[in-house]
Amino acid sequence: MANPFSLEGKVALVTGANTGIGQGIAIALAQAGADIAAAGRSEPTETKAAVEALGRKFLSVKADFSTTEPVQRVVDETVAAFGKVDILVNNAGIIRRADSIEFSEADWDAVIDTNLKVVFFLTQAFAKQALAQGTGAKVINIASLLSFQGGIRVPSYTAAKSGLAGLTKILANEWATKGINVNAIAPGYFDTNNTEALRADADRNASILARIPAGRWGRPEDLGGAAVFLASSAADYVQGVTLPVDGGWLAR
């Protein structure tokens, strides 16, 4: 019997794969057999080395996801290099922190554009390619605990990640019969660049750790199993789900 979790022969496009969560997911998909296209602003040197060490092919695509400019180009370059694309991981994102009473329009627009608007249009371009291929596809959006909760001092981030959970549902509703699965992962508190300010604040760090049943911050590799599952044929009947990977945070 074939391994339903195998990604052999698949091509995965992962945004923001140079560090942190995106890097961890890209490496996990490669371990499961996928070739990787990594799209983002920074050159993913470490990710490239790790993927190629696993015997998988790797493509770096330069892209600034603050606007929709690179959307079609990223898909086209991936297909030009690999002949197809089967999996999309929408990981690239930014965050801005300030009290809501003082939050600026510029910070609002920057986060909504990158974390929600561009994600939609990249997913749209990917889906058009997947439909042309006719072989089925998987979309994995990287949501957040703030897709479920309000948080503090990150109004545009909370709005974007809440919107992304909704977008995951509507795209699943529309595309499930077309062979495209759309799901999301909601990471808990992970040791990444986005949480550096929280981890540097002794009081906030202690209060966060006190609530996580697992007793530690997440590591990027902790998301690998969930990503491989949602990218594989094992999840063919899973649609519109936002799966928390949070060390038990939401259960507390």
State how far the alpha carbon of 189 is from the alpha carbons of 46, 121, 207, 235, in Å.
23, 27, 12, 25
Domains along the chain with CATH numbers: 11-251 (3.40.50.720)
CA distances from residue 248 to 123, 141, 147, 214, 217 in whole angstroms, order as listed: 29, 20, 15, 7, 11
Q: At what angle do helices 45-53 and 20-31 cross, to 10 degrees?
A: 10
SS3 of the chain: the string is CCCCCCCCCCEEEEECCCCHHHHHHHHHHHHCCCEEEEEECCCCHHHHHHHHHCCCCEEEEECCCCCCCCHHHHHHHHHHHHCCCCEEEECCCCCCCCCHHHCCHHHHHHHHHHHHHHHHHHHHHHHHHHHHHCCCEEEEEECCHHHCCCCCCCHHHHHHHHHHHHHHHHHHHHHHHHCEEEEEEEECCECCHHHHHHHHCHHHHHHHHHHCCCCCCECHHHHHHHHHHHHCHHHCCCCCCEEEECCCHHHC
For the residues 107-133, what does the mean pLDDT come to?
98
What is the reported pTM?
0.96
Which pLDDT tens digit goes with each residue over 185-244? 999 999 988 788 889 999 999 999 999 999 999 999 999 999 999 999 999 999 999 999
User: Which class for 39: exposed (0-12), middle (13-18), buried (19 or more C-beta within 10 A)?
Assistant: buried
**Of 157, 175, 189, 217, which residue is the catalytic one?**
157
Phi, psi of 239 (to 5 degrees): -140, 135
Looking at the predicted structure, is the pLDDT value of residue 1 above 70? no
189 among known catalytic residues? no
List of residues 6+ apart from 5 with CB closer than 8 A: 32, 228, 229, 232, 234
Give the model's confidence band at 160: pLDDT under 50 very low, under 70 low, under 90 confident, else very high: very high
Q: Give residue 9's pLDDT band: very low, low, confident or very high (50, 70, 90).
A: very high
Structure confidence by residue, pLDDT tens digits, 29-77: 999 999 999 999 999 999 999 999 999 999 999 999 999 999 999 999 9
